[in-house]
Amino acid sequence: MNKTNFALSPWRRLSAWPAGKGQVARLVCSKAPCFGSIKPRLVALHPGHGEVRVRRYSGP
């Protein structure tokens, strides 16, 4: 069974749109709530590879 990753198919559809990468990042944050606090930006997403940028954490 060839099943696509839950984030990969929306990435392929939406990454070309201006706010598409942000929409996919919100989708990933909804599946993994711990990512919501660090607000990741998806740079690249391929099968078996994902590139994310996060802001530097300065601590509490």
In a domain, 43, yes or no: yes
Q: How many domains does the chain have?
A: 1
Confidence of residue 59 (pLDDT cuts 50, 70, 90): low
Q: Which residues partner with 41 through β-bridges?
A: 53
Tell me, rounded to whole angstroms, the distance of Cα 9 from its chain centroid: 12
Q: Which residues partner with 46 through β-bridges?
A: 49
Contact 14, 23 (CB under 8 A): yes
Q: Which domain holds residue 48?
A: 8-53
In a domain, 2, yes or no: no
The confidence score (pLDDT) of residue 1 equals 44
In a domain, 29, yes or no: yes
In a domain, 20, yes or no: yes
In a domain, 3, yes or no: no
In a domain, 59, yes or no: no
Report helix, strand or coil for 11: helix
CA distances from 14 to 1, 25, 27 (A): 24, 11, 12
The confidence score (pLDDT) of residue 4 equals 65
pTM of the prediction? 0.71
**Is 39 a residue whose pLDDT tops 50?**
yes
